[in-house]
Structure 1
Amino acid sequence: MSASQNSDTVTSPLILAVPPGESYYSYVSQQLEKIPGANVRLLRIKSMYDDPSDEELGDLSQVEVYFGSVMFFSKIVHRCVNLRWAQSMAAGSDALWKVLKNKQLKPWFTFTRNAVSFPQPVAEYVIGQIIAVRRGFYVLRDQQIQAVWNKTDTLICNQPLVGTVVSILGLGAIGTEVARLCKVFGMEVWGVTRTLVPQDKKKTFVDHYRLMKDIDEVLENADFIVGVLPSTDETRGILSDRRFSVCRKKPAFVNVGRSDVTDEDSILEALRKGWISWAVLDVFDEEPLPASSPLWHEPHIVVTPHMSPAITYRDHPVKMCDLFKDNYKRYINHEPLLHVVDPQKGY
């Protein structure tokens, strides 16, 4: 069902557009101006973490369509009482559902996510980190800083990627692209899904499909564990509480999904007890990651500032705006929207 079918005004709904930073503002503004008859209010913010004043926000009660940062949207959603549809510029939406739950509100609007911009850059990030760990680049960097010439360090691995077992937790759009690129390098790919994948829907580049209930088997066989899971009741804490202890091959853990699939203590314990060899983390419970976090200084942890989506890619705003324009046309024509999120599932 289209999000606009219950709307009284479908010809020129008020659109609140909030590009997530100055670098997007000009392009998004230009693209929205090209939509015939669109009634657009643009809000300029420096980053998605901004907290504009009431004066800057203005009256949000007449906003029917939202297009922008989901983190920013989560701060104002309770004021958008007549909202019918929200198009996020992000892939995830757990921040929104948490806010609504805390405010004891049920979604009164259709929410669609950005499923087009992130698969390529996130998959490239994962491949880069796998190569960096597998070939010992981080160890070599540390040696350079110390002016040490050492070709025999056991942590420097010169094994090829061919035959390396990568277990991908979550085979959505991003996880599927990660799997495809891993197979290009000759890796053995395991993929974990929530439900059974029909035979005719299985990808040729995924060697083994498993369900969430099989996660111990998946971890046991992995050289690399890649987390691409959303934050849901089923996934939260799935890698906590000594879960990594089942790992036989001391795999590296690369997390680009949601941070709450595990926790700081579980990661630190897994590293210190040798259950995993590395943790490459791009997502955290609190962002920016506080300087007091032990993750910053723990050996064999790589911290990156939630940059795997590489939103500075030149084609990111292009794909983002193309998706919005496509969905907006569907919206005003009472057609099904693309990439609708089920609030109950969280994806």
Structure 2
Amino acid sequence: MKILVPDVPFDLDFPSLLPDGGASFAPGGTDTVVAYAMNEPVPEEHTDAEVLVTWSSPPKVLADAARRMPRLRWVQTLSAGPDVALRAGFGPEVVISSGQSLHDDTVTEHALALILATVRRIDFSLAAQREHHWAKEIAFAQADPGTEREYTLDGARVTVWGFGSIALRLSPLLTALGAQVTGVASRAGERSGYPVVGPDGLDALLAETDLLVSLLPAVPATRHILDARLLSLLPTSARFVNVGRGATVDEAALVDALRSGRLAGAALDVMETEPLPANSPLWDVPNLILTPHVAGGRPRGAARFLADQLTSWRAGEPLRNVTPR
């Protein structure tokens, strides 16, 4: 079986994790592991591969692979979200699985950084710094009984939308800072001690939310799911942080909510179009923090994860993180 792995700037010593260096992984068969340039089309001599591992490949490269790799049966992306692979046009016989869990720690760290930055008004302080302005008004606002609770997570009502593995890493950190965390997922219930509401409970929950954190994936059902109607349900003092996918947000509605003051602030690591075009209104919206899709960083533990996935594939056992299609 031929397996294509990306030529990546981190340790992906995949063959060494397989028995005999990958020479005879299964009885009666052999594995050939080939590295390819992830930003370039798969070379013609390797279009016969059955397994394609991807990470940060441009959409056009994956679309090209979907057209030119007739023997492909499995695409494993090392990204937390499989959205680029899902849009590439792979046939229904091709299994697509994501790298969910490989980015949990770094996304959690970045989400917490953005949350604290917007709650503590770090963007305002940085803007004041560039103007050589000593922004004492922040301190006055924190001392004002009418606005003091808007500057802290202590007692804040935090809604985490998309309550998966990253949410389970992030929520205890928010709890430690005094926040009251409620999750939103496809099914209501309780997860690791946190209450989780289903879609039918979202409207009522948003009306009582101080901070909304989105960890949603980009799938057809979530496109622009945070729209003008849902944004209008949030209190005007609420803030929004997105470290999921940009396509889940109606950006025009978000811009309008921030400019009109119907939303106090936001912080985004992901946008619908990336890189963000120079003429995007997001660049100049007040009370908005932008970072260039850097929350995930490199996948951590990718080599062991891939070896475990291949072991399952060879044995006919279920793979982790398979995306329904």
TM range, normalised to the smaller chain?
Answer: 0.7 to 0.9
Distance 1:82 1:175, change over 3 A: same
2:157 touches 2:179 (CA, 8 Å); kept in 1? yes
* Partner SS, residue 274 of structure 2: coil
Report runs of 4+ in structure 1 exceeding 6 Å deviation: none
- Alignment of 1:181 with 2:173, yes or no, is yes
Q: Which residue of 1 aligns with 2:72?
A: 83
SS of corresponding position for 2:155: coil
Shift of 1:60: 4.1
Q: Distance in 2 between matches of 1:309 and 1:132?
A: 18
Q: Deviations over 1:17-47 (max 9, x none)?
A: 114x4x23xx22x3324423130111134xx
- Of 155, 158, 166, which aligns to 1:163? 155
Counterpart-to-counterpart distance in 2, 1:272 and 1:58:
51
1:42 aligns with 2:35: yes
> How far apart, CA to CA, are the structure 2 residues paired with 1:258 and 1:264?
12
Task: Specify the alignment match of 2:198 in structure 1.
Answer: 211
The equivalent position to 2:97 in structure 1, one of 112, 119, 123, is: 112
The aligned amino acid for 1:82 is R
Aligned residue number for residue 302 of structure 2: 320
C-alpha displacement at 1:154, in angstroms? 7.4
* Superposed displacement of residue 230, structure 1: 1.3
Following superposition, the deviation at residue 291 of structure 1 comes to 0.8
How big is each residue's C-alpha offset from its partner over 1:299-333, in whole Å with a ceiling of 9 and x where there is no partner?
2111111001122xxxx34x111100111112222
Q: More deviation in 322-331 or 78-87? A: 78-87
Which residue is 1:3 aligned to?
A: none
Aligned position for 2:182 = 190
Alignment counterpart, residue 318 of structure 2, candidates 336, 339, 342: 336
Secondary structure, in 3 states, of the residue corresponding to 1:122? helix
Q: TM-score, normalised by structure 2?
A: 0.86
Superposition pairs for residues 163-312 of structure 1, below 5 Å? Answer: 163-197=155-189, 202-204=191-193, 206=194, 208-311=195-298
Counterpart for residue 62 of structure 2: 74
TM-score normalised by structure 1 residue count = 0.81
2:15 equivalent to 1:32: yes
Q: Quick check: 1:220–1:249 contact (8 Å CA) kept in 2?
A: no
User: What is the alpha-carbon distance in structure 1 between the residues aligned to residue 287 and residue 305 of structure 2?
Assistant: 39
Query: Which amino acid in structure 2 is aligned with residue 237 of structure 1?
Result: H
Equivalents in 1 of 2:309, 2:214: separation in Å? 29
Letter matched to residue 322 of structure 1: R
Distance 1:155 1:115, change over 3 A: farther
- Cα shift readout 1:168-200 (whole Å, capped 9, x = no counterpart): 110111222222221122210010011233x5x
Distance 2:205 2:139 in 1: 25
The 3 A distance-change label for structure 1 pair 155 and 91 is farther
Contact 2:269 2:294 in 1 (8 A): yes
Distance, in Å, in 2 between the alignment partners of 1:74 and 1:263 is 26
Q: Residue 43 of structure 2 aligns with which residue?
A: 57
| Aligned-residue offset at 1:249 | 4.5
Q: What runs of 5+ residues in structure 2 fail to find an aligned partner?
A: 24-30, 143-147
Q: CA RMSD in A?
A: 2.1
Q: Please give the secondary structure, in 2, of the residue aligned with 1:327.
A: helix
Amino acid at match of 2:159: S
Q: Measure how far apart 1:269 and its partner are.
A: 0.8
Cα pair 2:115 2:267 within 8 Å, conserved: no
Are the counterparts in 1 of residues 259 and 286 from structure 2 also a CA contact under 8 Å? no
Distance 2:157 2:227 in 1: 22
In the aligned structure 2, how far is the partner of 1:31 from the partner of 1:176?
Answer: 29
Q: Answer whether contact 2:228 2:254 (CA < 8 A) is retained.
A: no
Number of residues of Structure 1 aligned to a counterpart in Structure 2:
305
Contact 2:265 2:287 survives alignment (8 Å): yes
Percent of paired sites with the same residue: 26
Distance in 1 separating the partners of 2:47 and 2:136 = 65
